[in-house]
Amino acid sequence: MLAVWTILAGKPGGRGKLGSGGHRHLALFGNPLAGALTLAVSPGKSILLYCPPIILGFAGIRQLWRHKPQMGITIVASSIVLALFLSTFKFAGGAWCWGPRYLVPLVPLWALAFPFAPIRGKHWKNLALGIVAAGFIVQLLGVSVEDQRYFFERGIADHYWANDSWFEFKHSQLLARPGEVLSLIKDPPREAVLFNTDGMPPTYTSLRPPHAGPPSLAPGWVRYYRVFYVPKPWAIWMWDIPPDQRALNLPACVAGIMGVALLGLALIQRGLQHEF
């Protein structure tokens, strides 16, 4: 029930996929086959493409089941239930996001099976390393560019999923991302004089301005905002913004992040020393 409420209404008291008054007429449920294939193999939302290391989990689940049957049953059963549940929705892949976001809770579960993957011999080890490297690259691509640029530049409707259950087989944010990353080498468009789209101090949220009009006009107005044409992390590009216009204390934020990173590295090193 909590999952249903989250999808429909977002946070308690908030607005979810169908919460806004102008979109209550949209159908919630769609083609289960399209939903299942979208999550499994579509270029736009496949869990295998957006999280390649999960393949190692699939390879190791049999051995994990043999050694820890209760854990294996829990992983497989919860995955099947969630996947079948999500496949009934028209927005099974999560719509405006990087990859199938509703499947993210399953990734840590399948990671438990990684150590049980039958990786024997040089070739299998190289294959496993390649899968892990692919996963790292995919996630690096995911955090390198403002996520909504893909949708705005193509004028994609907010509720595109309502009219086309097979949308993710025709469009792929992942396949488009390398080109977007390469485009960051160029300077932002000359008309990109503002940092983000809400007219307020820069934050990490980019929304369509109230005056922007229908989605079909997005490819034009998106060029007025630098946030879509500079790489992440955006904190790097906030230094030339007057301090009183920033959404946060940038020096303190960077110092805090670096401190936490150093602490994490120290804890990892200590753990490795105890292990070996």
Q: Note whether 227 and 202 are within 8 A (CB).
A: yes
Q: What is the pLDDT of residue 23?
A: 54
From CA 69, how far away is CA 81, in angstroms rounded? Answer: 18
Counted residue by residue, the chain has a size of 276
Dump pLDDT digits (tens) for 127-154: 999 999 999 999 999 989 988 889 999 9
From CA 167, how far away is CA 154, in angstroms rounded? Answer: 13
From CA 43, how far away is CA 189, in angstroms rounded? Answer: 29
Q: What is the pLDDT of residue 13?
A: 47
- Residue 191, phi then psi, degrees to nearest 5: -80, -5
Q: Is 41 exposed, middle or buried (0-12, 13-18, 19+ CB in 10 A)?
A: middle
Q: Which residues contact 266 (CB under 8 A, 6 or more apart)?
A: none
- The angle subtended at Cα 30 by Cα 28 and Cα 31, nearest 5°, is 165
Q: What is the pLDDT of residue 230?
A: 87
Query: Measured between alpha carbons, how far is residue 265 from residues 140, 178, 205, 272 in Å?
Result: 20, 30, 29, 11
User: Rounded to 10 degrees, what is the CA torsion of 10, 14, 15, 19?
Assistant: 100
Q: Note whether 60 and 115 are within 8 A (CB).
A: yes
Q: What is the pLDDT of residue 272?
A: 75
Q: Which amino acid is at 230?
A: V
Q: Tell me which residues of the chain have a pLDDT lower than 50.
A: 1, 4-5, 9, 12-15, 20-22, 201-204
- Residue 228, phi then psi, degrees to nearest 5: -85, -10
